[in-house]
Every structure is written in C-alpha cells, then in structure tokens.
Amino acid sequence: MASTAATRDDRIELRATKEEKRLLVAAAAQERLDVTSYIMRLALPAAREVVDRAERIVLSERDTERVLRLLENPPTPAPALLDAARRRRSRK
C-alpha cells in the first residue's frame, strides 16, 4: 500500500463538518492510518463494486443459452433493418 500512496499526485477535496472530520480522524487513528489512506481503503472497493455492477450484465442460465444460440445461428435480418443499413451506407 505504501508504494501506491507514494505515487498519488491527484487531489480530491472533501468538505466535512467538524464532527465528521473528528470521526474520520479518530477512525483512521484506530486503524493506524492517515485520513487519506483510511478513506481510500474504504471508498475504492465500494467504487469498484458500483462500476462493476454498472458495466456487467448478468444473465440467467436460460438467457445465456438463448444468446449463445442466437450467436451461433443469427436470425435473418428484418427488411426494415436492411433498408436502414442501405440508407446509412448511401449517406457516406
């Protein structure tokens, strides 16, 4: 963790009440960390989880099988899709 902290050069400003700051300082001291390391240790895993959830699609087994079948045997394009592709190609 020390090598990561040594390379941190971007800043994030955080506004807090006196009580919130006192609480963060006390909690960081209990963990023998500075306040930045304490906040980063708690915030980064939560941020990774939020981003991971937003970027990943979880399918049921049934839906997974359907997607795989469609990838192996794609349906014939609908006439409207073919027309849209032709119009798009003619604009270039």
pLDDT tens across the length of the chain (92 residues): 455 556 888 999 999 999 999 999 999 999 999 999 999 999 999 999 999 999 999 999 999 999 999 999 999 999 999 999 999 999 87
How far is it, in rounded angstroms, from Cα 21 to Cα 26? 8
Please give the pLDDT value at position 4: 53
Please give the pLDDT value at position 92: 72
Range 14-91: architecture per CATH: Up-down Bundle (1.20)
- Give the residue among 35, 37, 51, 49 at the shortest CA–CA distance from 8: 37
Do 35 and 25 form a contact (C-beta atoms < 8 A)? yes
Please give the pLDDT value at position 7: 83
Do 14 and 39 form a contact (C-beta atoms < 8 A)? yes
Contacts with 8 (C-beta within 8 Å, 6 or more apart), sequence order: 36
